[in-house]
Structure 1
Amino acid sequence: MLSANDGHVGAQPSPITAIRRRASKVANLWIFESPKNDRRLTIVGDVPFMHLILLEGTPEVLRYQFVGDPFSVMGAEREASLPGYVRVENSDGPDTWLRIKRSGARPGRASSPDSAGEILCAAASAAGASYAEYTEDDLRGRETEFENWLILCACTNRAKGHPDYTERAAFVEALEASRTASVRSLLTASNVDPAIMLAVIASSLQQGVASTDLQGRLFGLDSEIQRRLA
């Protein structure tokens, strides 16, 4: 389980502080409202941003937190006793200590040993967690899935704070009746707000209680939402 006492968790800089510190850098700076964590995240680099968006769409991932400064937003990695990482809390097993980085490998040249990875792997094992590294190579073939979860996260955020009792009831009723329903039919159901219904659909997909093809096609009105049986 995640604990605020295990390492430097959740010390996210304000967007304006991050922008000022990154003014002379070339990596993109992303300010992202995470539905899964219910908080705003500051992320440096396209590869980390894309991987975190995909974590949002992984039902087995309950939440994730930044420990230390995993993307060098504040440039504090050199002073840290342990390299920064993303701690992922899973519903079906131990936590995962995740390091997201560029592969660094060049054609025809072997990659050099990664001391930061070795340190984190040993520390994760000692803490009873698993360790994983994600690079840009792991994103290949997942472009459509990334685009879909970017849209679905936005749908969730737009309806944040709005009551969704009516839309959830209509969603459950539609899927109990036939186990599958198109996005179009759900948005046009009686008495529902389409924006709130989109948020209900997104959260149901995020939690794994419903499914649709997000790997092979873009999410849209003709997407078929299926109820997952327990």
Structure 2
Amino acid sequence: MRTDANDDELEIPIVTTTRALIHDMLRAKILSGRNIWTYYSPKHNHAQYVVVNNLTYIWAMLAEGNPEISWYRPSELVVAYVDERGRSRKTSASFSVGRSDGRSEWISMAADGDDLASSTLARQVLEDAAKRAGAEYSVFTEKSIARKDIEIENWAVLVACMNRGRRNRFMLDFETRIIADSLNDAGRVTVFDLLGTPGVDEGKMLAAIGFSIAGGSTQTNLKTQRLCLASVLKWKDKSEAIEQQEGEVNQGSFVG
């Protein structure tokens, strides 16, 4: 969520595909002290996104791996309102989201340092506007990512693998078929075995693994275990819960 004190003030786009706009704002020192991330989105045919602040980037990484999110894009709708002091203000959600079940949603980012008084009113304005548009409204906060360090790291790695083996440049049919054949034969397969299959390109296989998990057809434990050679892949629709590997949580090195 971003809110401006007056209509003449330049808005800070929390997400944009326009690198030139970010460059202009950097020159004007509007983004002073803010972290800027750029990445390619596998969910959007590897389009390049530039996002402002860490929380926005983390949400995007988790969204890339969430099969319940069909698409997301920077929110373009700006909502005008009047605050408690009678000042004209405007605000906007961070993302518009399309869910796999057909629902629409507006997402705002809220860091711990946000002005609570102004942000509370802005959120109510956005929630009302979302309802009028037939969408749900939710706020993604720093509390939302508590104890999700491993999951966030896993998806940052998998998104990089998926971009490296992007489907608009490379054919992943062979690697995808190997995953399916292995799971149909044994019901489960390790990343080590998939990468060791004769004729497999390791980069393409890691991309295929990422796409299969993000697409909701397969699953592995990415919440408490770092993706590694010992990670076990299963069909998602044949198990409601992923079995934890025996012993302590695997803290092995990332693959890739």
TM-score (norm 2): 0.75
Structure 1 partner of 2:242: none
For structure 1, which runs of at least 5 residues remain unmatched after alignment? 1-10, 71-78
User: Residue 137 of structure 1: which of 120, 137, 143 is its match?
Assistant: 143
8 A contact 2:72–2:95 mirrored in 1: yes
**SS in structure 2 of the partner of residue 116 of structure 1:** helix
Shift of 1:88: 0.8
Structure 1 segment 143-222 matched on structure 2, within 5 A: 143-160=149-166, 161-222=169-230
Q: Which amino acid aligns with 1:27?
A: R
Structure 1 partner of 2:34: 27
Aligned residues: 209
Structure 1 residues 167 and 152: alpha-carbon distance in aligned structure 2, compared to 1, 3 A threshold: same
Shift of 1:16: 4.3
1:118 and 2:124 correspond: yes
Structure 1 partner of 2:43: 36
Structure 1 partner of 2:22: 18
Shift of 1:22: 2.5
Structure 2 partner of 1:76: none
**SS in structure 2 of the partner of residue 36 of structure 1:** helix
8 A contact 2:16–2:51 mirrored in 1: no
Per-residue deviation, residues 53-79 of structure 1 (Å, max 9, x unmatched): 111111100110111389xxxxxxxx9
Counterpart CA distance in 2 for 1:199 and 1:184 is: 14
**SS in structure 2 of the partner of residue 219 of structure 1:** coil
**SS in structure 1 of the partner of residue 71 of structure 2:** strand
User: Residue 98 of structure 2: which of 89, 93, 97 is its match?
Assistant: 89
8 A contact 1:19–1:29 mirrored in 2: no
Counterpart CA distance in 1 for 2:20 and 2:35 is: 14
User: Residue 128 of structure 1: which of 134, 138, 147 is its match?
Assistant: 134
Shift of 1:82: 4.9
8 A contact 1:98–1:131 mirrored in 2: yes
1:99 and 2:108 correspond: yes
**SS in structure 1 of the partner of residue 44 of structure 2:** coil
Q: Which amino acid aligns with 1:15?
A: R
Structure 1 residues 165 and 99: alpha-carbon distance in aligned structure 2, compared to 1, 3 A threshold: same
8 A contact 1:15–1:31 mirrored in 2: no
TM-score (norm 1): 0.84
Structure 2 partner of 1:4: none
Larger Rg: 2
8 A contact 1:87–1:97 mirrored in 2: yes
